[in-house]
Amino acid sequence: MLKVEDVRLHYGAAVALRGVSCQASIGEATCILGRNGVGKTSLLRAITGMHAVTSGRILWEGEDITRLPAYERARRGIATVPQGRDIFPLLTVKENLETGLGLLPRHERKISDEIFDLFPVLAQMMHRRGGDLSGGQQQQLAIARALVIRPRLLVLDEPTEGIQPSIIKDIGSVIALLRNRGDMAILLVEQYFDFAYALAQSIVVMDRGHIAMAGGINEFEEDKIRSYISI
């Protein structure tokens, strides 16, 4: 289980998180919702170790990871699919997938066949360059690359952003399947409400650097949640 306790985060003098607390449990999808610029990505950066927090604590499986570097968190099973995908355009699909393998113990350094069961399109494109894939295929590659380390916490930052509807549906099915396996916590930032609502058991609604609402999806009126994300 992931616990974020009263986290503050700054970019220079500008404050992005003003004391954020939330949690994510194994076997559930927890969805972070909120308008542009409220701090969703900053919260994920704090959790994955991409940006140091000013104060507060982050606990993962009972351990305080607040000061651990990103690669140490990855070793502990925290994998991230960044906003904008960030795949390596000049590396092939296979090489992109292999970038995560170094984090695994030597005898486990193999891309499991399951990755290609989840994303059959990647199996057909193994030797194509990442940059030659469509946006949707790149997003699938970014998720597959995160799965290579067999994470127990999968963090996804707006996986539907700029993606065509048919691939959004495929990505939703994969997330639902991973959630239903019950051995992973999924933390999903999403601005597409219906996608989030269909997948999440828990929600965290952010507003300008703080948490506006958090809890089980059934604890809140749908319209109330929507009021925080409609412009």
Ligand X SMILES: Nc1ncnc2c1ncn2[C@@H]1O[C@H](COP(=O)(O)OP(=O)(O)OP(=O)(O)O)[C@@H](O)[C@H]1O
Q: Would you state the torsion angle of the CA atoms of residues 32, 35, 38, 42, taken in this order, to the nearest 10 degrees?
A: 50
d(CA 58, CA 22): 10
Minimum CB distance to Mg ion smaller for 157 or for 170? 157
Choose among Mg ion, ligand X, none what residue 16 binds, the Cβ cut-off being 5 to 8 Å by kind. ligand X
Interatomic CA distance for residues 181 and 194, integer angstroms:
22
Binding residues with Mg ion: total (CB under 5 A)? 3
Which of residues 125 and 225 has its CB atom nearest to ligand X in the complex? 225
Reduced to 3 states, what is the DSSP secondary structure of residue 102? helix
Only segment of 33-41, 113-121, 168-176, 210-218 that touches ligand X (CB under 6 A):
33-41
Tell me how far, at minimum, the Cβ of 189 lies from ligand X, in Å: 7
Among 4, 16, 41, 100, binds Mg ion (CB under 5 A): 41
- H or E stretch at 58: strand 55-60
Q: Which is nearer to Mg ion, 40 or 73 (CB)?
A: 40
Considering only 4, 31, 33, 41, the residue that binds ligand X (CB under 6 A) is 41
Give least dist CB 85 to Mg ion, A: 13
State the CB neighbour count (10 A cutoff) for residue 221: 8
Q: Per-residue DSSP letters for 26-53?
A: TT-EEEEE--TTSSHHHHHHHHHTSS--
Q: What's the min distance (Å) between Cβ of 230 and Mg ion?
A: 17
Distance of CA 154 to the CA centre of its chain: 5
Point out which residues bind Mg ion (CB under 5 A): 40-41, 83
